[in-house]
Amino acid sequence: LFFLRWRNHPLSHIPTIGTSLPILSYVGAFRFIHHARDLLQEGYDKYRVFRIPMIDRWLVVVSGAEMNEELRKFPDDQMSFEHAVEEMVHTNWTIQPDISRYPVHVTAIKEKLTRNLAVVTPAIVNEVQLAMDELIPATEKEWLPVTGFQTMMKIVARASNRIFVGEPLCRNKEYLDIAVGFSNDVIKGTAVLAFVPAFLQPIVGPLLPWPRWAKRRMYPIVKPMLDERRNQLDQQGEGQADKPNDCLQWSMEEARLRGLGHPEDLLVQIILVLNFTALHTSTISFTHALFHLAANPVYIQPLREEAERVLQAEGGWSKAALGRMTKIDSFLKESQRANGVAGISIFRRAMKDVTLSDGTYIPKGTILAAATTSTHHDERNYENPDVFDPLRYSRLRERENESTKHHYVSTSAKDIGFGHGKHACPGRFFAANELKLMMANLVLKYDVKFQDEGQRPENEWLSINVMPCQTAQVLFRRRAAS
Ligand code: HEM
């Protein structure tokens, strides 16, 4: 049976990295857990389209900027992002079904958060400064060791939640623990389901306890705020003068617009899912950049000078000021190129049989993605791609007619850290704003270094995720009069 299934497998015509033989392909799938980078690179170097065994499915990966462009251009009815995410992350069970059915938070991010960035920037600045002072209590006299990843996670969680749910919840320890823990729960749930055969997933999936536990713990904490906001909306409508400017409020208004009323359960899910999409991605991205800075403290001075100059010229912190910090923008973008948060992006699920331009037939139901890390380290796309060149993008922006390109938030077929096309990360404008002001504050307040200068801890790949070392300690020293 195994042999027959293998012979007739609908993807058997696509070259495999590792072996496609029955049972032995599981060896490849286990290798993928710790060696995804090598396997993706091998496929990228050899083929335009290849497949890689994962524990519960085959993943078809396209190679090169042209194929990335082709993948992102497919309309949703041929290649669906939502269905790909549902199948990869099992959102119905690891998060909850309502969130895919009523993604009001995506509309809130796309239509409200991005447009209101200038309005919310002072609040993010305030939260970042409070959180840094509290969580990095370094003095001028000695170096304070700080666990980079964990501390940046706490700062990102506070700053992001200031704009997701506002004060004082963004500083509530129990609330933040649930919000941060939920992302780990989703990852745990996805990993469990990867080991469950597809036909048993509809039975095991609903039994996953974590999403229900998170909701149950979160509900009493947010309930008073939900009630208060509901009353205000009932009494004064959306026109109320001093209404909160945050994602929860925008999601509540969007839910009303869609005729969903006041869906308490969905709103709790939205708070959790916002944290799931934002916290790990932003923390990983910032920690990668922090590690470059700590390994090479010579990078600090140009960023610091830029922040000081711009803040003086603009009269303080604002979205416009952050827009002028091109070196900091470039530093974060280069770190995303060199490291990134995941080895693949532009996830799609084929909703129909399609044939790619190179002639590869893709049957309905196939999950496809682009090879992010390999694209970003391809010398056809970048000069000296393996060199970390912090001002690579700010130099490019100085060229004629290029000033509007190469921003941290820009995407292209060669630049897919935020995905590319219609489903490119809608939160990237907010993320870039937040991470830039974190970086500017950090260089203005502190000197940083690693114990062993020049040594950046190796990234850790877990399946497709590219993690900075989670235990690495960075030394912080407060600058005089900062
Ligand atoms: C540096 C931080 C971030 C990175 C690197 C990142 C990266 C990504 C990537 C790669 C995708 C998938 C695109 C694709 O496969 O085509 C995505 C989607 C998404 N991201 Fe982000 N993201 C970040 C921050 C955020 C933040 C802060 C938010 C929320 C405020 C957010 C909300 C979302 C949402 C809602 C989607 C799904 C889009 C859709 O349904 O069309 N992300 N992100």
> ipTM score here?
0.98
Whether 345 is in the pocket of ligand 1, judged by its Cβ within 6 Å, is yes
11 Cα–ligand 1 center, Å: 29
pLDDT of residue 21: 67
CA separation, residue 93 to residues 28, 112, 164, 204, 278 (Å): 27, 28, 23, 9, 20
Tokens of 413: 């077929």
Half-sphere exposure (CA, 13 Å, Cβ side) for 172? 15
Whether 424 is in the pocket of ligand 1, judged by its Cβ within 6 Å, is yes
Q: pTM, whole model, 2 decimals?
A: 0.95
Half-sphere exposure (CA, 13 Å, Cβ side) for 396? 18
Distance CA 173, CA 154 (A): 10
β-pair partners for 79: 350
274 Cα–ligand 1 center, Å: 10
Q: What does DSSP assign to residue 366?
A: -
Whether 466 is in the pocket of ligand 1, judged by its Cβ within 6 Å, is no
- Residue 180: Cβ-neighbour burial (10 angstroms; 0-12, 13-18, 19+): buried
Tokens of 390: 């912090």
145 Cα–ligand 1 center, Å: 31
For each successive 10 residues of the chain (482 residues), what is the average pLDDT? 74 86 71 90 97 89 98 97 92 85 92 95 97 97 96 98 96 96 90 85 92 93 95 82 90 93 92 95 98 96 98 96 97 98 97 97 97 98 97 92 90 97 95 98 97 88 93 95 64
- Among protein residues, the one with the nearest Cα to ligand 1's atom 7 is 418
Pocket test for ligand 1, best of 425, 428, 430, 436 (most atoms within 8 A of CB): 425
